[in-house]
Amino acid sequence: MSSPIIRTKLPNQLPVILATYPLAWLALFYGFVVRAYLHLGHWPTPYHPDPKTLGFTIHHQAIWYGLMALPVVGLVAVACTIVGRRLAANHRIWPALTLLIVSVGLVVALARLDPGNFFEWFAD
């Protein structure tokens, strides 16, 4: 038997939890940038140094795999929201969708504006 919390709370909160994934990815990315700063003693600049050569292989790979998972997690969050609404009439869809739109918008805006050229540095 599963507990009542898992049957009722978690499915209702799952789309909101998934919608925060882009924010968690941003934290992982900027955590890598801060880690590079602490290692180098200065902020990294494009092409200096290569992020792969810093010795943070697992952290580096987690960012790339996390980036590839962003669209999948976003679609799963939308699907969970739609399914949740179909299964329960009182299931609220707007908190999860609003959070997803804001968090994806923040990722896209930061990637396009690229303050500090950190995205360019990481992708070089």
Question: What pLDDT is stored for residue 36 in this prediction?
Answer: 95
Residue 76 lies inside a defined structural domain of this protein: yes
Question: What pLDDT is stored for residue 12 in this prediction?
Answer: 75
Residues 6+ apart with CB under 8 A from 113: none
Question: What pLDDT is stored for residue 10 in this prediction?
Answer: 56
Residue 39 lies inside a defined structural domain of this protein: yes
Residue 99 lies inside a defined structural domain of this protein: yes
The single-letter DSSP state of residue 124 is -
Residue 8 lies inside a defined structural domain of this protein: no
Residue 2 lies inside a defined structural domain of this protein: no
Residue 47 lies inside a defined structural domain of this protein: yes
Q: Are 80 and 18 in contact (CB under 8 A)?
A: yes
Q: Provide the domain limits for residue 113.
A: 15-123
Structural domain total, the chain: 1
- Residues 77-102 as b/e (b if ≥16 CB within 10 A, e otherwise) read bbebbeebeeeeeebeeeebbebbee
Other CB atoms within a 10 A radius of the CB of residue 25 amount to: 19
Question: What pLDDT is stored for residue 71 in this prediction?
Answer: 95
pLDDT by residue, tens only, the chain of 124 residues: 455 554 555 577 888 999 999 999 999 999 999 999 999 999 999 988 889 889 999 999 999 999 999 999 999 999 988 888 777 767 778 888 999 999 999 999 999 999 999 999 999 8
Residue 7 lies inside a defined structural domain of this protein: no
User: At 48, is the secondary structure helix, strand, or coil?
Assistant: strand
Between CA 121 and CA 124 the distance in angstroms is 5
Burial of 20 (0-12, 13-18, 19+ CB in 10 A): middle
Question: What pLDDT is stored for residue 4 in this prediction?
Answer: 56
The pTM of this model reads 0.86
Residue 95 lies inside a defined structural domain of this protein: yes
